C-alpha cells in the first residue's frame, strides 16, 4: 500500500525509520479551533485516566507518570482555552499546524 497516495502529507525517512503525518493544517475560527484542539487534549486526558484505572497499585512509578501527564494536559487545556477565548474576543482566527512523527523501534 502506497501511503503517499492515501495521504499527500505523509513523509518518510528510511534512515530514521520514522514517518511524519500532517494531522492539522489550516486557519480556523475560534469555535472550530476549540473543537480541534480541545478534542485532542480531552482525548489524551481520557487516555491517561483509563491507563490509571488499569495499572496495578504496585506500579507506583507508572501511576505517578500518568498523574503528572494528566496535570500537564489540564494546564495545556487551560492555556488553549484562554487563547481561543482571546481570539474570539478580538475577532481573530487561529492558524493550526500539527505533525505527528512515528518512529519504529526494535
Q: What DSSP string runs through 4-29?
A: HHH-TT-EEETTTTEEEEEEEEEEE-
Axis crossing angle, helix 30-54 with helix 60-89, rounded to the nearest 10? 170
Diameter of the chain measured on Cα atoms = 51
Range 10-38 average pLDDT: 87
Whether the pTM exceeds 0.95: the reply is: no
Residue 68 has pLDDT above 70, yes or no: yes
Q: What angle do CA 35, 12, 44 make, to 5 degrees?
A: 30
> What is the pLDDT confidence band of residue 14, given thresholds at 50, 70 and 90?
low
Amino acid at each position: 500500500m502506497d501511503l503517499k497516495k492515501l495521504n499527500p502529507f505523509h513523509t518518510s525517512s528510511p534512515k530514521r525509520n520514522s514517518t511524519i503525518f500532517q494531522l492539522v493544517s489550516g486557519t480556523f475560527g475560534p469555535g472550530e479551533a476549540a473543537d480541534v484542539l480541545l478534542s485532542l487534549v480531552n482525548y489524551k486526558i481520557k487516555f491517561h485516566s483509563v491507563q490509571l484505572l488499569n495499572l496495578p497499585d504496585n506500579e507506583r512509578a507508572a501511576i505517578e507518570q500518568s498523574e503528572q501527564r494528566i496535570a500537564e494536559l489540564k494546564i495545556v487545556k487551560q492555556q488553549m482555552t484562554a487563547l481561543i477565548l482571546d481570539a474570539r474576543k478580538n475577532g481573530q482566527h487561529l492558524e493550526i499546524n500539527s505533525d505527528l512523527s512515528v518512529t519504529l523501534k526494535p
